[in-house]
Amino acid sequence: MIKIIGYNYNIERGEEKMLTKRQEKIIDYLEKDGSWLTGKELAYLMSVSDRTIRSDVGKINDFYGFNLIQSNRREGYRLSKGEMTAKTIETPLSMAIPQTANERALFLLKHLLVSKKEINLISFQQQVFISESTLENDLKKVRQILLDYPSLKLLRSKNILSLKGIEDETRHLYKTLLSKETKGNFLNLTTISTLFSKLDLMTIKSKFDGVCRHYHYRVREIDIPMMMLHIGIGIERMINRNFVSLPYHDAELQNSVEYQIAENFYKQISQSLPIELKKEEIVLLAILLGNRNANFSKLNVAYTDDQSIKSLVTEILTVLASQYDINFYKDEHLRSGLERHLRGLINRQKNQLAVQNPYRQELKRHYPLIFDMAVRLGEIIEEKIHFTICENGIAFLAIHLGASYDTSRNDSKYRTVIIHPDEKGSNSQFVAKLESRFKGDIALIAHLSYFEESLVQDLNPDLILTSLPLSHSLNILTVQLTLFVTHSDESLVIDALTQLDHQKLHDIFEEKVGDLIRPDVFYINQVSKFETVEHILSFMLDALYEKGYTPEEFKADVFKREFFSATSFAYGFAMPHSLKVMANVSCLSVMQLRQPLMWGEFEIRLVLLIAISKADRNYMNMFFEWFNDVVNDPKRYGELLDAKDHAAFVNCIVGNNK
């Protein structure tokens, strides 16, 4: 991954320059795409003009001192792969000059949490070049963020700004801000360490590792980055004499190895950093260690009603089968995994312990159908156990479902003919390997020693696998393999199955999508009268109800789905939909926005509101499969935004889904 470089920005001194957030996004998109992107495609993604993209590319190259981004008049732009790894270095992303209202709001909050207790607003206003009215809007954004933290209050005395509140919520806010700055890169400890300008987090980690080794204590490697994020926040707050207060000191906890590790660790840190040793801080770290260690259970009150857990898992699998037409019933590994996870989830909820999920954004972006099933699962748990699961918890549920999805989603297999000479020994080995490796994907309908066109045509297979060169005129996908079916051969079969999957999806789309995207709920090039997500959803949902496409309760269910997790799965797109399948008539309402709108964590310009009836419940899977292909392709996104009317939009979807 390319690493963005830059200088620290200091609010008092106004030092510069840094890449803007938009310029960082340009680099990020070019890196992920890996090929040429035109200026027009990048302009759509950034919601700016082609000229602005040209200017940004020039500034990026000037900033690095070499052509990090190559330009071609016909092809567009791409990263210079030969030089970027050698000449780029990593420095803090967190101190970039804030460009938008959201960025300035987050910048102000982080400065209040870390750098000092107060901010001079006149100095801030001058150094980020904003007007007084813009500053007031930024402060509204800050107060809006703080609504999720009831004890935290923004205080203003003339032009001096400060933040007051309970330390537990202050740290929670700080952790949320830093987590956003990692951009989902939770596993990169080096990136996390750059978020702390006053600490050498890697040295602190070395001390922590040493203490754990002394006690022969193992922390799961996947938990270490988020553990260090927690520790870094705690130490920075303690340096400024901000300490947590816990309501109890558990006697058993104080005798645990986790408590001894936490106490020993903070004693070592206090020798090199100006922090005061507080029992509450030791208890908090011990709790965190215990929650992340599978052998620690002293604080957990066991959930003893195993039958209730088993019944809940059965209900979950029933709902998934009914709504998504996917049968998970036979997967005992999934059942036992969900049962264990639910017990742990209930215990963590009882002890008010939160766990970060480093794969949340990855799952949401690249596996939207799996994530959506996990959201539905979370709603069932809320109804039965009466607590709300956050996005991190939903992502953990998605991991369980994802592991079972490929083997459960489709009972139908691709009809396959094997053409392989019936020789002693080689026959059984060749066929057995293929049937064993791909038993969940192919159904062997015939094994022939030679090809005869009329016979194969009558069999009408989806796929032909052959051990010898074979040319024919039939429109049937044919793959030649070696006699011993090597790993390379397996890759060829997997590619063929993927190609068949895409073709099946395209055929369904071509047949259905024109009818589903209805012209009377299609809104092209909408202006900025819709200022919020709520405005857009209310407008689109009310129209569906008035036309009789959805029942009255559909609107509330869509808003409930957004409450669990925003349906903006990636930059550019949002796909709002209901938790339950309940539409009167299946349809897709489309709104194309002239200006981008912040929807959850992403700016979007295209809203695809899905309403699916019970009879068409398998369409939901179809849309998510399509969405998974198109969402990370800037070229397709640009073409959809270019569509001037309903017919052109439908043609873009059908034409691109190949």
SS3 of 15-27: CCCCCCHHHHHHH
Q: How far apart are CA 483 and CA 478, in angstroms?
A: 16
Better-predicted residue by pLDDT, 159 or 101: 159
**Is residue 130 a part of any domain in this protein?**
yes
Q: Are residues 396 and 426 in the same domain?
A: no
Using the predicted structure, report yes or no on whether residue 93 has a pLDDT greater than 50.
Answer: no
144 and 211 part of one domain: no
Condensed to tens digits (0 to 9), the pLDDT of residues 195-214 reads 787 788 899 999 999 999 99
CATH number at residue 441: 3.40.50
- CA 214 – CA 464 distance, rounded (Å): 60
Instruction: Quote the pLDDT of residue 249.
Output: 56
- Average pLDDT value for the chain: 78
- Least confident range from 12-21, 55-64, 575-584, 641-650: namely 12-21
Q: Is residue 221 part of a domain?
A: yes
- Same domain, yes or no: 554 and 640: yes
Per the domain annotation, does 174 fall within a domain?
Answer: no
Give residues with Cβ within 8 angstroms of 368, minimum separation 6.
569, 575, 624, 627, 628, 631
Residue keyed to tokens 């999934």: 334
| Domain co-membership, 522 together with 643 | yes
- Give Cα separations from 623 to 453, 628, 640 (angstroms): 37, 8, 15
Residue 502 belongs to some domain of the structure: no
Mean pLDDT of 253-276: 90
The predicted structure's pLDDT at residue 110: 80
Q: What is the pLDDT of residue 11?
A: 39
Tally of structural domains, the chain: 6
Q: Tell which of 77, 97, 117 closes a domain.
A: 97
Assess whether 126 and 62 both reside in one domain: no
User: What's the pLDDT at 8?
Assistant: 37
The H or E element spanning position 417 is: strand 414-419
* Residues 341, 444 within the same domain: no
pLDDT exceeds 60 at position 14: no
Q: Which of 116-130, 282-296, 436-450 has the highest mean pLDDT?
A: 436-450
What tokens were used for 306? 């195993």
237 and 313 fall within a common domain: no
Instruction: Evaluate whether residue 107 is within a structural domain.
Output: yes
- Domain range for 463 is 414-485
Yes or no: say if 39 and 75 are a contact pair by the CB < 8 Å rule. Answer: no
Same structural domain, 80 and 143? no
The answer to whether 544 and 554 have CB atoms below 8 angstroms apart is: yes
pLDDT surpasses 50 at 192: yes
* Most confident among 115-129, 358-372, 394-408 (mean pLDDT): 115-129
Structure tokens given for 637:
């996104």
Q: Name the token pair of 399.
A: 């991991």
Q: How confident is the model at residue 120 (pLDDT cuts 50, 70, 90)?
A: confident
Where does a domain end: 97, 117, 132? 97
Provide, for the chain, the percentages of residues in helix, strand and coil under a 3-state DSSP scheme, each rounded to the nearest 5.
Answer: 55, 10, 35
Contact between 376 and 319 (Cβ < 8 Å):
yes
- Within 529-581, where are the H helices? 533-546, 554-564
Residue 139 lies in a domain: yes
User: What pLDDT sits at residue 462?
Assistant: 92
Q: Is residue 624 part of a domain?
A: yes
Q: Does the pLDDT at position 16 exceed 50?
A: no
Rounded to an integer, what distance in angstroms lies between the CA atom of residue 509 and that of residue 501? Answer: 12
Confidence of residue 305 (pLDDT cuts 50, 70, 90): low
Q: What are phi and psi of 242, to 5 degrees?
A: -115, 115
SS3 301: coil
* Same domain membership, residue 347 and residue 425: no
Residues in the chain: 658
Last residue of a domain, one of 46, 77, 97: 97
Q: What is the DSSP letter of 98?
A: P
Q: Which of 140-154, 376-390, 407-421 has the highest mean pLDDT?
A: 140-154
- How many Å separate Cα 404 from the centre of its chain? 19
Helices 257-270, 279-291: inter-axial angle, 10-degree rounding: 130
Pull the structure tokens for residue 456: 């194969």
Q: How confident is the model at residue 477 (pLDDT cuts 50, 70, 90)?
A: very high
User: For residue 498, is it within any domain?
Assistant: no
Q: How far apart are CA 36 and CA 31, in angstroms?
A: 10
What does residue 553 show for φ and ψ, rounded to 5 degrees?
Answer: -75, -10
Side chain identity, residue 555: K
- Of residues 114 and 552, the one with the higher pLDDT is 552
Whether residue 36 sits in one domain with residue 54: yes
* CATH number for 108: 1.10.10
Domain check: are 53 and 30 in the same one? yes
CA distances from 9 to 41, 91, 98 (A): 31, 12, 10
- Cα–Cα dist 273/378, whole Å: 43
Q: Return the pLDDT at 657.
A: 52
Q: What is the CATH number of the domain that holds 376?
A: 1.10.1790.10
265-279, 411-425, 561-575: which has the minimum mean pLDDT? 411-425
Q: Do 296 and 255 meet the contact criterion of CB atoms below 8 Å apart?
A: no
How many distinct helices (H) and strands (E) make up the chain? 27, 13
Which of the listed ranges 247-251, 303-307, 496-500 does the model predict with the highest average pLDDT?
Answer: 496-500
Contact call for residues 453 and 473 (beta carbons, < 8 A): yes
Cα angle value 594/598/600 (rounded, 5°): 140
Q: What is the pLDDT of residue 116?
A: 56
The pLDDT, as a whole number, for residue 269 is 93
pLDDT confidence bin for 358, thresholds 50/70/90: low
Lowest mean per-residue pLDDT among 177-186, 454-463, 518-527: 177-186
Q: What is the CATH number of the domain that holds 45?
A: 1.10.10.10
Contact between residue 430 and residue 420 where contact means Cβ atoms under 8 Å apart? yes
Cα–Cα–Cα angle for 530, 532, 537, nearest 5°?
75
Alpha-carbon 585 to chain mean position? 30
Residue 341 has pLDDT above 90, yes or no: no
Tokens at 247, concatenated? 């309501």
Is 80 exceeded by the pLDDT of residue 284? yes
> What region does 386 belong to: left with phi over 0, alpha with psi -120 to 50, or beta?
left
Running DSSP on this structure, what letter comes out for residue 409?
S
Residue 198 shares a structural domain with residue 281? yes
pLDDT of res. 572 = 79
Kindly report which listed range (6-10, 230-234, 267-271, 365-369) carries the lowest average pLDDT score: 6-10
- Give me the percent of the chain exceeding a pLDDT of 90: 14
Q: Which residues, in sequence order, are CB contacts of 410 under 8 Å at separation 6+? A: none
* Residue 136 scores a pLDDT above 90: no
